[in-house]
Structures are given as C-alpha cells and as structure tokens.
C-alpha cells in the first residue's frame, strides 16, 4: 500500500505551515526572553570630568556613542580641574558618581576619608604638566628664586612645583607659590601677576598663545609621570557594579579607537576642547592612552603621601594603605591583563 496516496495532499501543506509557525514562535520567544545587550535598560551614571586633553578617551566615547552602546546613560559635567571634580563627588551635592582626577587630590583626601576608590588609570604623560615663564623675568630654573609662581594648590601642580624646585636645588621657601585656578593662569602670566606658572594642557598652550615670543618653557620632562584616574565612591561601586563595568568597557573601546584612528581622534578632541588641530597634533604625542591599574600607581601615591607629611600639608603622620583605595573588580572582568597591582 502506498501511504502517500492515502493521505490528502492538503495534509503536507498544513504540516509545513505549522512547522514554520513553531520555528518562528520559538525564535520570537527566545529573542524576547533573552534580550541582547543593546536591548537591556540603560544604566544611569554621572561623570565629573576635567575639561582638558587628559580625558581624551571620555570625549571619544561621547562622540562615538560607546557609553550608550555598552548600556550606559551617562551625564557628563565639566570642571576646571580634577580636584574640583573629585570634591564635587565627595561632597555629594552635584550628583557625581565618577570623577577623573590625578593622584595628588586622591592622596590628600585619603588622609581625611576612606569612602572612595580608584578603579582605573586611563592616561599617562611625562609632558602634560609644564613650567611656563615670562622670558623677560625668567630664563632658567635658577631665576625662579624670589619670584611668584602660580599653580592650583591641592592639585598635581602643587606637587609638581615642589618636585621641580627640589630637582633644581631650590628651596620651596625661596619661591612664592600663589593659588590660581587653572583656567585663570594663562591670563595671570600674560598680565604679569606671576612670573611663571605650573599648569597642564590645554592651559599651557593657551598661555604660550597669549605670551607669544615672551613665553619660555623650563625643562621638566623627566620629573614626574602624571596619570589621570577614574574614582568613585565606595557606595556607588557597591550598589552599581554593572554600571561601573559598562563604563570601563566604553572607555576601553575608546582607547582602542584612539590607537587605531589617531587623526580622527585628534580632530574629535580638538573640536571638543576648542583647540586648533595643529596644536592638538603637537600635544598628542605627549600622552599614552590605555586603561590600566598598575603597581606604579601605589608607589606614586605613597611618594606623594610622604611629601605631604614632610611638608605638614596633612595632620596625620601615618600613611594610608593605598591598597584599600583600589577597586579591581571592574577592570579584572573587562581587561584582566591590564591589572598588575599586587594585593
């Protein structure tokens, strides 16, 4: 007996239809119950960031949409310095969840509180912090004796100034250090309120532009390797670990973009900071962009802590344990090979 002849022809069409329907329903059920990362709800966070070249990876992430791509609804608030950004986060009155900051403000605040942690270093430079002077008053480091030097106190500028003076056998007491906000330093130098300034980019370039032929940069490239770091409160790190992880993923994607697309990255950051592209190209080579957590960060914090204690900038004579100020989990999940801190 031929079975196919005993089954009506419409039967096979019905089988095909219902089989297809089952496959489609299974597909839709799977996609609805297992959403892709882009379909997951965006997690909210607010970043306090210094408006400078250092956070280039932040500006790239913003422009290329990496924060949103990795599931983060990020609000960015700009500050004149990393110290201001950090203090806004610690004071808790501006809704800042993450701050960009150099080691000096981290170190100074570590003597007063322990409710924050570093979760990534994302750029380093031996050239970013500069000593720029008026050449009608200063032509060498030795000429700084008896002169006025402007820098933002409580920042890397203050530490760098002392390191620069020590490196040139000049006592801190032989120089009058004046506390001036970063964005005001170029004008203060141009108008002669100070004889020299210690500052970072883009303010250094702005100062040179204002002074023109009267500007001189004093050699200092071998004194200090500045880093810029992501810091958050321990409360946020504990309550929003997934948001922190997504933030690290976005910044890591931006640093990879910087390495592969240098010229486009330069244009993006130049536009964001209102700098001409030629200046940006010149400055760019001064920076190393990568997200890490290295043992050298601990050594820098300890060295700066000893400096603060020896100069009576802090009340305590006991150095904090900086391992207690490091949050490893986010970077260990995203890029474990970038973590070299030993616990």
Q: State residue 222's pLDDT score.
A: 85
DSSP string, 248-295: HHHHHHHHHHHHH-HHHHHHHHHHHHT--HHHHHHHHTT-EEEEEB-H
Residue with tokens 């914090």, as numbered in its chain: 301
Task: Answer yes or no: is 121 within a domain.
Answer: yes
157 and 304 co-located in one domain: no
The residue range of the domain holding 209 is 139-218
76: which residues sit within 8 A by CB, 6+ positions away? 46, 47, 49, 58, 62
Geometric angle at alpha carbon 153, from 147 and 158, rounded to 5°: 65
277 and 334 co-located in one domain: yes
What's the total number of domains in the chain? 2
62 and 190 co-located in one domain: no
Res. 219: pLDDT tops 50? yes
Establish how many alpha carbons lie within 13 A of residue 253's alpha carbon, considering only the half-sphere containing its beta carbon: 18
- pTM value? 0.84
The CA distance from 294 to 313, in Å, is 26
Q: Which of 211, 156, 163 lies closest to 188 in space, CA to CA?
A: 211
The CA distance from 132 to 196, in Å, is 6
Calculate the average pLDDT of the chain. Answer: 90
Task: Answer yes or no: is 62 within a domain.
Answer: yes
127: which residues sit within 8 A by CB, 6+ positions away? 221, 286, 287
255 and 307 co-located in one domain: yes
pLDDT digits (tens, 9 = 90+) for 270-322: 999 998 888 899 899 999 999 999 999 999 999 999 999 999 999 998 999 99
pLDDT digits (tens, 9 = 90+) for 53-96: 999 999 999 999 999 999 999 999 999 999 999 999 999 989 99
Residues 288 and 125 sit within 8 Å (Cβ to Cβ): yes
Task: Answer yes or no: is 25 within a domain.
Answer: no
Helix ranges restricted to H, the chain: 3-6, 9-33, 56-64, 66-69, 82-91, 103-110, 156-167, 185-190, 203-211, 234-239, 241-260, 262-273, 277-284, 295-310, 329-334
119 and 232 co-located in one domain: yes
pLDDT digits (tens, 9 = 90+) for 29-47: 333 333 334 467 999 999 9
Q: State residue 16's pLDDT score.
A: 47
Three-state SS at 314: coil
Q: Identify the domain boundary among 183, 218, 253.
A: 218
Q: Which of 99, 220, 227 lies closest to 160 in space, CA to CA?
A: 220
334 and 231 co-located in one domain: yes
Question: How many other β-carbons are positioned within 10 Å of the β-carbon of residue 170?
Answer: 16
First to last CA, the chain: 79
Residues 48 and 93 sit within 8 Å (Cβ to Cβ): no
Mean pLDDT across 8-19: 46
Question: How many other β-carbons are positioned within 10 Å of the β-carbon of residue 179?
Answer: 12
Share of the chain above pLDDT 70, in %: 89
232 and 109 co-located in one domain: yes
90 and 166 co-located in one domain: no
Q: CA 89 from chain center: how many Å? A: 14
Q: State residue 39's pLDDT score.
A: 65
Q: Identify the domain boundary among 195, 218, 241.
A: 218
43 pairs with which residues across the strands? Answer: 72
Three-state SS string over 204-230 comes to HHHHHHHHHHHEEEECCCCCCCEEEEE
Res. 331: pLDDT tops 80? yes
pLDDT digits (tens, 9 = 90+) for 221-260: 888 999 999 999 999 999 999 999 999 999 999 999 999 9
Task: Answer yes or no: is 6 within a domain.
Answer: no
109 and 233 co-located in one domain: yes
Task: Answer yes or no: is 284 within a domain.
Answer: yes
Res. 13: pLDDT tops 60? no
| Domain at 103, CATH number | 3.40.190.10
Task: Answer yes or no: is 86 within a domain.
Answer: yes
Task: Answer yes or no: is 4 within a domain.
Answer: no
Mean pLDDT across 108-132: 96
242 and 315 co-located in one domain: yes
Q: Identify the domain boundary among 169, 203, 218.
A: 218
189 and 260 co-located in one domain: no
């Amino acid at each position: 007996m031929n079975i196919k002849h005993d089954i009506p022809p419409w039967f096979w069409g019905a089988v095909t239809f219902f089989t297809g329907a089952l496959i489609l329903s299974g597909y839709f059920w799977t996609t609805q119950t297992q959403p892709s990362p882009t379909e997951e709800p965006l997690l909210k966070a607010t970043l306090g960031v210094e408006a400078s070249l250092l956070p280039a990876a932040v500006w790239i992430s913003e422009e290329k949409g990496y924060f949103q791509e990795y599931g983060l609804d990020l609000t960015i608030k700009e500050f004149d310095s990393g110290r201001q950004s950090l203090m806004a986060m610690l004071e808790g009155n501006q809704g800042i969840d993450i701050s960009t900051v150099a080691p000096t403000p981290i170190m100074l605040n570590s003597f007063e509180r322990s409710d924050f942690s570093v979760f990534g270093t994302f750029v380093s430079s031996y050239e970013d912090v500069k000593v720029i002077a008026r050449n009608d008053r200063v032509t060498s480091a030795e000429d700084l004796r008896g002169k006025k030097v402007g820098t933002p106190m409580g920042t890397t500028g203050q530490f760098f100034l002392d390191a620069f003076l020590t490196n040139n056998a000049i006592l801190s007491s032989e120089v009058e250090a004046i506390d001036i906000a970063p964005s005001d330093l170029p004008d203060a130098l141009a108008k002669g309120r100070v004889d020299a300034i210690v500052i970072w980019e883009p303010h250094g370039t702005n100062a040179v532009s204002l002074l023109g032929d009267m500007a001189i940069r004093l050699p200092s490239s071998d004194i200090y390797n500045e880093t810029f770091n992501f810091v958050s409160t321990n409360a946020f790190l504990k309550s929003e670990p997934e948001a922190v992880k997504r933030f690290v993923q976005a910044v890591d994607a931006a640093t990879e973009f910087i390495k592969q697309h240098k010229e486009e990255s330069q244009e993006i950051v130049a536009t964001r900071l209102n700098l001409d592209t030629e200046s940006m190209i010149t400055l760019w080579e001064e920076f190393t962009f990568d997200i890490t957590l290295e043992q050298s960060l601990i050594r820098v914090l300890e060295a700066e802590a000893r400096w603060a204690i020896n100069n009576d900038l802090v009340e305590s004579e006991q150095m904090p344990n900086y391992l207690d100020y490091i949050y490893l989990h986010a970077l260990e999940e995203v890029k474990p090979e970038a973590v070299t801190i030993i616990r």
